[in-house]
C-alpha cells in the first residue's frame, strides 16, 4: 500500500469515528473540505464514545463533560416503612439510589482511606421491612448510611459532593450518633440549589477548634474515626440527607443538641442513599 493510500485510510477512519461520536450525541460532525492528509491531526484516532463515562463525550484522546451538564435532575423522594424496635409501624420518606448511579460502593470516593470493599453496611431504607438491618444490640431498624471501618484516630477529610457549589458549612458539632459533625452542602439539582446534609457519626473527636459556622474546603480535617456510641465497632457512619425546601438549617443550627436532632427528623430532611451524592472515583 502506498503512503498516500495509508494516509487516506487513516483520514477516513478518523472521519467515521468522529461521525459516530456525533451521532451518539445527536449532533452533526463536519469534516473540513480540502483538509491536508499529511497534517498530524489527520492521522490521530480519537477515542470511541463507548470508552467515555456516562455524561461525557470524546475530545481527542480525552473525555470531557457535556456542555451545560452542571447539575443533576431533581431527586425523587419515596415513602417506605418498617417496624421499629418497639414493633411500631413507622412510615418515612427516603431517596433511593438513582438508577444511573453505580450500585457498587467501590465506585465512589470517601472521606477516609478506602481502596476496595471498605463499606461493611450500606443503605437499606429503600428495601422491604424484613430486608432492613436489625439486631438485638442495634438501637435502630434499617440503615440510612454507609459504615466505613477504620483504625481509631484515622483522619476524616472533607470531600465535595456531586454538583456541589461553594464550600461545606459546619452546622452541628456535638453528641448525636456518638460524637457527630454535620455539614451543609449546596448542590445544583433540577436547575436550582438544594441543601444537603452530610453526617459524620461515631467520631473519636471533631477536628480541633471545629465550630458551627466554619467553612470546609476539600481535604480539610473534619475529625477522627472512633467508636463513641458504637463500642463494638470503630467506624465512620456517613449519612446524607436532603433538607426540605421550606426548612432553614441555620435556625436549627443555633439550637445546640436539639438542633442536631431536628436536622435529621423526617419533617426537616429526607434521608438519601449516599451513592446519589458521593463523588465518583
Q: What is the DSSP string of 176-229?
A: ESEEEEEEEEEEEETTEEEEEEEEEEEEEEEPTT--TT-EE-TT-EEEEEB-TT
d(CA 197, CA 186): 9
Strand, coil or helix: what is 25? helix
- Show Cβ contacts of residue 183 under 8 Å, excluding neighbours closer than 6 positions: 158, 168, 169, 170, 171, 197, 198, 200, 216, 222
d(CA 248, CA 252): 7
State the pLDDT at residue 136. Answer: 79
Burial class (CB in 10 A: 0-12, 13-18, 19+), 49: middle
Give per-residue pLDDT as tens, 195-221: 999 999 999 999 999 999 999 999 999
d(CA 66, CA 53): 11
C-alpha cell at 228: 463513641
State the pLDDT at residue 180. Answer: 98
d(CA 212, CA 250): 10
- DSSP codes, 236-277: EEEEEEEEPTT--HHHHHTTHHHHHHHHTSTTTEEEE-GGGT
Task: Give me the residues of the chain with pLDDT under 50, please.
Answer: 1-44, 65, 67-68
d(CA 253, CA 50): 46
Compute the CA torsion angle 83, 85, 91, 96 (nearest 10 deg).
Answer: -90
State the pLDDT at residue 63. Answer: 63
pTM of whole model > 0.85? no
Domains of the chain: 3-65 (no CATH), 78-276 (2.70.70.10)
Contact 159, 109 (CB under 8 A): yes
State the pLDDT at residue 273. Answer: 98
Cα–Cα distances (Å) from 254 to 18, 106, 198, 260, in that order, read 56, 36, 18, 9
H or E segment to which residue 3 belongs: helix 3-25
Contact 172, 181 (CB under 8 A): yes
State the pLDDT at residue 131. Answer: 95
Contact 270, 195 (CB under 8 A): no
State the pLDDT at residue 186. Answer: 98
Within 10 angstroms of residue 152's Cβ, the number of other Cβ atoms is: 11
Contact 218, 168 (CB under 8 A): no
Amino acid at each position: 500500500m502506498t503512503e498516500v493510500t495509508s494516509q487516506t485510510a487513516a483520514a477516513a477512519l478518523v472521519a467515521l469515528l468522529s461521525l459516530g461520536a456525533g451521532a451518539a450525541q445527536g449532533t452533526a460532525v463536519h469534516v473540513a473540505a480540502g483538509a491536508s492528509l499529511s497534517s498530524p491531526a489527520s492521522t490521530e484516532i480519537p477515542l470511541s464514545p463507548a470508552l467515555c463515562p456516562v455524561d461525557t463525550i470524546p475530545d481527542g484522546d480525552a473525555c470531557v463533560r457535556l456542555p451545560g451538564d452542571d447539575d443533576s435532575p431533581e431527586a425523587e423522594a419515596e415513602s417506605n416503612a418498617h417496624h421499629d424496635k418497639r414493633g411500631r409501624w413507622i412510615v418515612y420518606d427516603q431517596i433511593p439510589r438513582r438508577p444511573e448511579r453505580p450500585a457498587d460502593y467501590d465506585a465512589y470516593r470517601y472521606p477516609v482511606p478506602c481502596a476496595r470493599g471498605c463499606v461493611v453496611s450500606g443503605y437499606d431504607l429503600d428495601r422491604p421491612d424484613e430486608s432492613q438491618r436489625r439486631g438485638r444490640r442495634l438501637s435502630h431498624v434499617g440503615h440510612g448510611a454507609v459504615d466505613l471501618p477504620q483504625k481509631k484516630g484515622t483522619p476524616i477529610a472533607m470531600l465535595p459532593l456531586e454538583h456541589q457549589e461553594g464550600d461545606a458549612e459546619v452546622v452541628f458539632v456535638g453528641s448525636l450518633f456518638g460524637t457527630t459533625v454535620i455539614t451543609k452542602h449546596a448542590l445544583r439539582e433540577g436547575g436550582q440549589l438544594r441543601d444537603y446534609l452530610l453526617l459524620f457519626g461515631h467520631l473519636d473527636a471533631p477536628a480541633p477548634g471545629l465550630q458551627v459556622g466554619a467553612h470546609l474546603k476539600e481535604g480539610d480535617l473534619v475529625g477522627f474515626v472512633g467508636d463513641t456510641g458504637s463500642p463494638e465497632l470503630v467506624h465512620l457512619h456517613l449519612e446524607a440527607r436532603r433538607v426540605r425546601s421550606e426548612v432553614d438549617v441555620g435556625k436549627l443550627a443555633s439550637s445546640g443538641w436539639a438542633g442536631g436532632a431536628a436536622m435529621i427528623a423526617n419533617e426537616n430532611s429526607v434521608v438519601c442513599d449516599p451513592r446519589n451524592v458521593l463523588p465518583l472515583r
